[in-house]
């Protein structure tokens, strides 16, 4: 019991840090309320601090637009049109194709340059499903997909520290989890923390090094 409580506390600290990064740039993302409305019934306490970090006030027309966007997303989640939409076709493929994708993701030689960002999002979801992280935290595929889309929009279009780079780091962590058989040494919750940290580690990165920031005397320095 104490071990689980310790893991949950670690999850709260990690997700809280990630939440602050997302909050810092949330004004750039239309409909970020979708992220705020992620429902995790089995892990409410574990994710409480993260959800609070994302709960920044939005007023006026922007609040109305965000709420309408969130409502549209929620409605679409339970509609046949959304479930059968092209965005999630990867999870409607036959089991053989899904397993083939997962086996490719387990390789250190996986080539992320062959895929667009939307496909990379699908691959991340495949990793979460394969490691049973969704089951552990009570998150649906559709809510994870909405969160990943919001994260992707918060990455800048820079040469290196972009969403593709975040995916590569995440995929390499997934490779190590399997190569080192970490599922026998860590809890599913801990592995989930690792993947979330990889996905979000360069959110809103301006694309320039710390050395450049210092020499240019920028605000970030």
Active-site amino acid positions? 161
Q: Is the dihedral of CA 135, 145, 49, 33 positive or negative?
A: negative
Structural tokens at position 14: 């990690």
Structural tokens at position 149: 């889309």
111 is known to lie in a ligand binding site = no
48 is known to lie in a ligand binding site = no
CB distance 99 to 130 below 8 Å: no
Q: Which residues contact 158 (CB under 8 A, 6 or more apart)?
A: 205, 206, 207
Q: From the centroid of its chain, how far is CA 146?
A: 9
Structural tokens at position 20: 């602050």
165 is known to lie in a ligand binding site = yes
The annotation places the binding site for Zn(2+) at 165, 201-202
Annotated binding site: 165, 201-202
């Amino acid at each position: 019991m104490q071990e689980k409580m310790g893991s949950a506390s670690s999850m709260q600290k990690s997700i809280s840090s990630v939440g602050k990064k997302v909050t810092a740039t949330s004004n750039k993302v239309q409909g970020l309320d979708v992220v705020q409305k992620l429902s995790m019934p089995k892990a409410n306490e574990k994710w409480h601090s993260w959800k609070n970090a994302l709960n920044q006030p939005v007023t006026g027309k922007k609040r109305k637009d965000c709420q309408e966007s969130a409502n549209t997303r929620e409605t679409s989640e339970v509609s046949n049109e959304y479930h059968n939409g092209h965005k999630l076709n990867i999870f409607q493929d036959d089991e053989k194709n899904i397993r083939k994708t997962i086996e490719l993701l387990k390789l250190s030689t996986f080539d992320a340059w062959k895929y667009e960002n939307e496909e990379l999002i699908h691959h991340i979801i495949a990793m979460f499903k394969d490691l049973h992280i969704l089951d552990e935290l009570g998150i649906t595929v559709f809510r994870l997909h909405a969160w990943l889309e919001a994260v992707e929009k918060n990455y800048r279009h820079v040469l290196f520290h972009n969403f593709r780079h975040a995916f590569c780091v995440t995929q390499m962590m997934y490779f190590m989890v399997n190569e080192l058989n970490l599922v026998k040494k860590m809890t599913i919750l801990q592995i989930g923390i690792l993947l979330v940290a990889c996905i979000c580690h360069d959110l809103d990165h301006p694309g320039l090094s710390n050395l450049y920031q210092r020499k240019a005397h920028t605000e970030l320095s």
